[in-house]
Amino acid sequence: MNILDKIVERKMAEVNQLKNLQSYSSLEKSDYFGIPTKSLSKNILQNQISIIAEHKRKSPSKKEINFTSKTKDIVSGYEKHGAVGISVLTDMYFFGGSKKDLKIVKESCNIPLLRKDFIIDEFQIIESRSIGADAILLIAAILTKKQISNFSRIAKELGLNVLTEIHSIDELQKCDLKNIDIIGVNNRDLKSFQVDINNSIKISKHIPSEIVKISESGIENPRDIKNLMNEGFDGFLIGERFMKSENPGASLKKFIEETK
């Protein structure tokens, strides 16, 4: 069993437990249901250098990235220094995140928030809206074409942006493009965790031009950004590059300045 299979197996158990503890109606009573969401896709298109900065404590490939910086300080720095959105890992077991992190981020900044987790059930989409997310991540590698279509539709009905993450052309063909706001090409193979930034370049020309497209993972320097922008990418999701520094916001600021 590869790491992605292990993550999904554990997530299924977590979601089943949550569904026994909370009802759909209780989630819909959240104050966030009455607050309009912010569009991550529009924010990406409105900026010259569009970086979604990620809040990530650890990963299966890096057991410790940053457990010292305070969440509020991290995301306030991201917003101050030019992030177009913030991605928040909410998986605890494998990534050291939590839904509490997303709520703290919601209270600390005013830019769109992407809930990054392994969504396998519509319950998690309702939950995402209830904790303040503006957008959700759907990972094509763990979902069927029908699931992607259904989950995208539900998210759109709730006012959430949908970022569908792919790693191959086959996965792109599973996507319901009429209900997707952003396609993210992951340069990291989620089964082996090997990274190849050329994966974005290879897939780029197959993504319809009307879809906002971003590149994710393995982006280490401004040269990568410039090369990917030349291939038509509108934005970039970067986490570890900033989180491994003592001051992630300052790291983002320096990165954007060097790119310009």
Looking at the chain, how many residues does it have?
260
Residue type, 130: S
Q: Within 36-190, where are the H helices?
A: 40-45, 71-80, 99-108, 122-130, 145-157, 169-172
14, 43, 54, 99: the active-site residue: 54
Residue 216 known to be catalytic:
yes
50, 87, 128, 186: the active-site residue: 186
Beta strands in 64-159 (DSSP E): 85-89, 113-116, 135-139
127, 171, 216, 240: the active-site residue: 216
14, 79, 127, 165: the active-site residue: 165
11, 99, 103, 116: the active-site residue: 116
56, 103, 106, 213: the active-site residue: 56
Give φ, ψ of 125 to 5 degrees: -70, -45
In the chain, DSSP finds a helix count (H) and a strand count (E) of: 12, 8
Residue 221 known to be catalytic:
no
Q: Which residue has the tokens 């090997």?
A: 194
Strand 235-238 relative to strand 51-55: parallel, antiparallel, unpaired? parallel
39, 215, 217, 251: the active-site residue: 217
Residue 165 known to be catalytic:
yes
The catalytic residue positions are: 54, 56, 116, 165, 186, 216-217
